[in-house]
Structure 1
């Protein structure tokens, strides 16, 4: 049984979809349990289409503190569940009341003391991070999605964890045909010869999109920029580009593939990441990437260990001209890549099978002693 707050359309929910459907393919009985009512932008229908049974406690955050643990315990007993796999602070906080004979596994996709304070405020964020790490001590096995998170937890959280990298559905995220690329550009009203940059992700402080847009403007290059995503930094992003007609904000997209297929390069300026789904999906479609030089981005390239498209790194923490020069070098490398190859090639480096195999191993180890 997989336990999460909701099935909101996010990267972690997409990873859960890959994992739960693969477990069903392997012959396991699978349930997905949500704690709260679904938001408007939910992937629940896709889970159901894949034959995954979705249950819900249908309680809010406050009520779940009082009744969530008892209801989860009853549901697990009624369904004769053998493995409970949680994801997220609320779900991870409910497992302490379960029978120790049940295998318990949790997946942590960020380092809470790094992620929560910018999102929720310094004091509240710190308290949430402390609570989350404390809750994880009641879990049999804890998986994290990158080595950088593992090192932070082992050093500062005193937690022993296993690294299980995210995956990509290579049948969905693959290089476009010539027809798909042409059609994607036409649908987005892009000139066939335009050089298109795509930025994908929530517009939050950690992603540093306003700074990236300012830096792209300083390049004085002829670029069409697509920004796929929404969030509290949207106004700051718009202010960074002023009246530029070459930057288009597409909002959240149900299907990001047309934007990837229409583009020539993917750029991320994140200050920190777990194991970034958006970057992995871009690489899977054969799209060259220019990435901030954070440890998660560097690890992702190492993990791929395959024939990658061009991937270069930059830092906007450098003085202004140095940052612009690094970005220019990245664009030069991408242009050279296109001159050498002339076409996109799919990159099947992030296997769903490998992720599922590692989780199966953790399920066998997840009983708390």
Structure 2
């Protein structure tokens, strides 16, 4: 089976890190796997992800679309269609609203190529053009929570939980942010992971810091800011215990020396950063949203009772009291989190491809 995944970028985020695990695993299962990246990527982190994919036998192609440029959008749509024609895949799987448009345009009039759409957010809001082009496409929801919040009415769908590859996301290396940030060795490090989009709710941290009033607890955010629509880190300069680290390729190593993983998100699909934290064995405090609650039945995972700074602080303080080693936490979690291994996700993806592909071939 020849598969092409289309995604907006390799800049970092849940979709990118999921594909980082899924594509190599599908390659292991005997598929020919390629990735088409829509946007032009100039970040070092993007090169890091591309190198991992290529080293695992996955081919990566760039369309180099220029952001907010309509002419570039049209040119790259045409180039994507030509590239798909030359690669002749059986399957196109698009990830992210813009990528769905590229997938649809590349398969118009090509009945031998099936286009599948993965919904990574709960909900994923589609533009009118997506609704027109993709209303009959088979959908893959990344979690039951994402399905429950769906806005699409497509008749063909399935739920396949996101997964991660421990061999890719887990490391024994250690990066100590106390040293990097020149902090006292007794400081507590709380890690947050994800791009600086509003849904990650990093502004909420200011309320936590103001009420906490503790200079020994530091909040360290690993994630990129890509311009319009992202939060402005200049607004956080007065908060000396909030640190923006930018895109990091060493998140697992950072988590190995950190005290706690924190998510303040207001909504998610099935958050890859949380799954990675589970496999890294770091204690977790997750915001009280449906998507987190449904996957919180693992050891050393806490959910605040309410979405208030006061409730988060009480939960964070409780979690920081735990002294269990990351290795022991990982071993305790393993029987539960094994279902989030990428091998299971990849197998289910291929089975769904085959099922729907066979239905459309005559």
Distance 1:315 1:204 in 2: 24
Distance 2:165 2:82 in 1: 34
The question of 1:85 aligning with 2:93 is answered yes
The question of 1:52 aligning with 2:63 is answered no
Match of 1:329 in 2: 314
| Equivalent residue runs for 1:219-258 within 5 Å | 219-221=212-214, 222-231=216-225, 232-235=230-233, 237-238=235-236, 242=238, 244=240, 246-258=241-253
Q: Is the 8 A contact 1:106 1:142 kept in 2?
A: yes
Distance 1:164 1:64 in 2: 34
Match of 1:32 in 2: 35
Match of 1:104 in 2: 115
Deviations 1:281-325 (A, max 9, x none): 2221111111111111112225xxxxx34111126645xxxx41x
Task: State the shift of 1:48 in Å.
Answer: 2.2
Q: Unaligned regions of 5+ residues in structure 1, if any?
A: 115-127, 303-307
Task: State the shift of 1:276 in Å.
Answer: 1.4
- What RMSD, in angstroms, separates the aligned Cα atoms of the two structures? 2.9
Distance 2:89 2:355 in 1: 15
Deviations 1:130-185 (A, max 9, x none): 4334433242x2112122221222xx422343222222221244475xxx558564
Deviations 1:200-253 (A, max 9, x none): 2222322221222322331234312222224332336515xx253x33222222
TM-score after normalising by structure 2: 0.80
Distance 2:171 2:35 in 1: 31
Match of 1:216 in 2: 209
Distance 1:74 1:250 in 2: 39
The question of 1:265 aligning with 2:273 is answered no
Distance 1:236 1:290, change over 3 A: farther
Distance 1:206 1:66, change over 3 A: closer
Distance 1:67 1:181, change over 3 A: closer
Provide the aligned length of Structure 1 versus Structure 2.
335
Distance 2:256 2:235 in 1: 23
Distance 1:29 1:203, change over 3 A: closer
Q: Is the 8 A contact 2:296 2:302 kept in 1?
A: no
Match of 1:151 in 2: 148
Secondary structure (helix, strand or coil) at the match of 2:219 reads strand
Q: Is the 8 A contact 1:21 1:52 kept in 2?
A: yes
Secondary structure (helix, strand or coil) at the match of 1:143 reads strand
Match of 1:10 in 2: 13
Q: Unaligned regions of 5+ residues in structure 2, if any?
A: none
Match of 2:163 in 1: 167
Task: State the shift of 1:195 in Å.
Answer: 1.9
TM-score after normalising by structure 1: 0.79
Distance 1:79 1:211 in 2: 46
Q: Is the 8 A contact 2:260 2:320 kept in 1?
A: no
The question of 1:142 aligning with 2:139 is answered yes
The question of 1:201 aligning with 2:186 is answered no
Distance 1:183 1:69, change over 3 A: closer
Task: State the shift of 1:109 in Å.
Answer: 1.0
Q: Is the 8 A contact 1:108 1:143 kept in 2?
A: yes
Match of 2:274 in 1: 279
Distance 1:190 1:172, change over 3 A: farther
Distance 1:40 1:202 in 2: 13
Q: Is the 8 A contact 2:25 2:343 kept in 1?
A: yes
Q: Is the 8 A contact 2:280 2:326 kept in 1?
A: no
Distance 2:191 2:63 in 1: 38
Distance 1:197 1:65, change over 3 A: closer
Q: Is the 8 A contact 1:310 1:333 kept in 2?
A: no
